[in-house]
Amino acid sequence: MARTDTTPRSDIRIDKDGVWFYRGQEMFRREIVNLFYEHLKQDD
């Protein structure tokens, strides 16, 4: 499937150590991070 540029930009980032951030602030609630992680997919 070809990638399109219609995916909205996200303010969520993951650093090299696997720490998740939203708008520059660390996401510390593990249940929320785990919810996002369950739906994370890597681009080809």
27 assigned to some structural domain: yes
17 assigned to some structural domain: yes
The reported pLDDT for the residue numbered 37 is 85
Range of the domain at 19: 10-44
15 assigned to some structural domain: yes
**Dihedral sign of CA atoms 10, 14, 20, 22 in order:** negative
42 assigned to some structural domain: yes
- Tally of domains in the chain: 1
Instruction: Answer whether residue 40 shows pLDDT above 90.
Output: no
The reported pLDDT for the residue numbered 26 is 94
The tens digit of pLDDT for each residue in 2-34 reads 566 677 778 989 999 989 999 999 998 989 888
Residues 25 and 32 sit within 8 Å (Cβ to Cβ): no
